Structure 1
Amino acid sequence: MTATDGTDAEMTTPTPAPPDPKREALRKYSGLLLQHKELDGRVRAARDELRNVRKAFDKTEDDLKALQSMGQIIGEVLRQLDEDRFIVKASSGPRYVVGCRTKLDKSKLVNGTRVTLDMTTLTIMRALPREVDPLVFNMLSESSGHVDYSSIGGLGEQIRALRESIELPLMNPELFIRVGIAPPKGVLLYGPPGTGKTLLAKAIASNIDANFLKIVSSAIVDKYIGESARLIREMFGYARDHEPCIIFMDEIDAIGGKRFSEGTSADREIQRTLMELLNQLDGFDVLGKVKMIMATNRPDVLDPALMRPGRLDRKIEIPLPNEQGRVEVLKIHAQKINKEGDIDYESISKIAEEFNAADMRNVCTEAGMFSI
């Protein structure tokens, strides 16, 4: 009886279920996926580290090259003998017949080009840009600000004439070629002080995508012989290299006065500067993209050689504004002022007879000062 009960108990014990293959495969997949993500993170970290090491290696290599490399001599190309040989003048004075690097563009090695020469073989290594006086860079960096034509009152006819002479040849030179005429090289703006001559030049520079060199003529004059003429040459050379370019010379009577036989050494230096300016005006192409604007309060003292057609082809008078012009100028300057009620601009314009544009602006300033 007892044995029979034990046998029955052994027969009723449950057997363990066989493992599910799907669940086992899913568990293995999850483990491998985690392992893959971990390895992927390690690979990315190793790549970042390799990139940083390469940057450090390149920087170290450049530093070593800079420490080990020798300096180069600055020279000037005088003449090309044949396809591979040039006559150059070193900065120290002597002249050499040298070759150039095979990768260098030989078409750029024209007469007068500044180049670097290898210290040992004197081979031309590369071409350098034109040497420019720092004063010329200061002329270029002086921002003209944004001046719109609508902010100039009473000078509609003068704006049209200036745009025809400067803007049209720069933007559409093919029109002059089709007609068969030479466009103006330069324009002279003359008139009483405070009438907007400098403002017109700034407006032209603001509305044309061109480089703008602003020069005060009195700043060119130097006490050392030849320095002023050299500055004129470098100024025009820089303008030719950075076309399109507008050169604006304010107060041109400082160097453009009539020449006379007697005078001090300073007067002779000013005359040499004027002769260099005349030479440069004759030198650049009429269809080139370099235009000249000059301004003065005293056109009667200018040298006739400077005033002749072919140098300054157009003379534009900037007169005192008339009654309607004074109203326009007054409205322009009164736009930004906080006003109360209506203002009778016509009555103010009639009272302000013989006022220039600067005086009309001063009227608005004084009105604001009284309100304060």
Structure 2
Amino acid sequence: MKRASLFLLLIVMLAVQPLSVLAQTAPSCSFQPDGSIICTTGGGNEGGGEEGGGNDNNNNGGGACTPGNHLAFQVVEYYAESSSCKVFPIRVDNCTGQVLHIIEQPAVMPCELPNTTPPQHPCTSFSVTAGGITCTNSGWKITARVTFPEIYLDVRPYPATLVRWPTILRNGGMPESSGSGGVNYVPNGGGSPGNPQVGDWQNLRLILTLRPAGPMFVTLPHIGDLVLSNGASQSIQWEVPSHPAVGAITLAGSVSGLDELPGDMPLFVGNGRAPYKLFWELRYQEYEAIEGCIAGPNGNGNYNCGGGTGHRGITGYEWKTHSSGGEIPPSAVANLPAARMADINNDGTPDAYWDTNLTLRRMDDAGSISNPQYQRSWNWGGIIYWAVREGQGQIGWPGQ
């Protein structure tokens, strides 16, 4: 026996169709010009509007309908082994789709459910920028945004070092980041906050989380590629000074924040970034019927529970909490720039997002970033500037 994960309507012809929106539908996400990812999710009025809102929506639809109602069946359980469903007969308004009446006597009848494999995510649109990710579901009118967390590269000496001088880099941390959005009420069953109907949702929340998916990657001219796990450090040394002859053509005076250096000091230009994976979680409460054993026979005079003393029927209603979630891969995000795609397992398919919100923090000789004599930080969106001077007047080199 398999509990149906969402409510469906079985029309008179016994064709099972989804009722309004699906709880398991995933967000649709897209990359935004500001560097964030926006996700959107779908169906129903945020405030659980009354009848007027439904009429307005119908009138604006441009289609005619015949006033009245029709018989349908609300599926509460699906039996895969017999391809049958347990249903409650209901009356549905032809024009608004609102459930007008539910008959509290379940029945079992043949049916076929559509493919219920959950989509990858509930976003109908995404926005991805350097600043973060935004996911929107247009049907549910939910928008959730998560920003790329600040990642830290601790360095010394900085912003200038000497040729052949031990220079230290340390992965100072790659935290998680979360953001959420939600709506108070989604009238899937045709109800309202003051008069809920079976199938209605409340307290719908869409949560996006960015989690680190690997080490930090740093690339520096004449050093090469460095891979730093969280908290790891590495010592490097340049064999040549930052000079235009070796590709250092950017001058300190053209870079904001490098006022400690002479304006005509050439700089090496590198970069640092870390891969992150995006996850979604959808939480909501659904108004559901409680089935139990009621004393006496059913409408047909039959007994089917309580040792032949009662019949199965609805004994009450409750708000039941549901949640679903999963990963949103880069392939699910429309318009995602190639520079944002990270292929961390090198199989040719992007499987994460590059976080370039890199902050450089200067540390002292003891590795502290809080020493007021040294404390300072810089963030150029993943770019690393470094001046390397010749050790003029220096006698020998460290360790020699």
Answer yes or no: same fold by TM over 0.5.
no
Q: Aligning the two structures, in what range does the TM-score lie when normalised by the shorter sequence?
A: under 0.3
TM-score by length of 1: 0.20
Question: Which has a greater percent of helix?
Answer: 1
Say which one has the larger Rg: 1
TM-score by length of 2: 0.19
The structure with higher relative contact order (CA 8 Å, sep 6+) is: 2
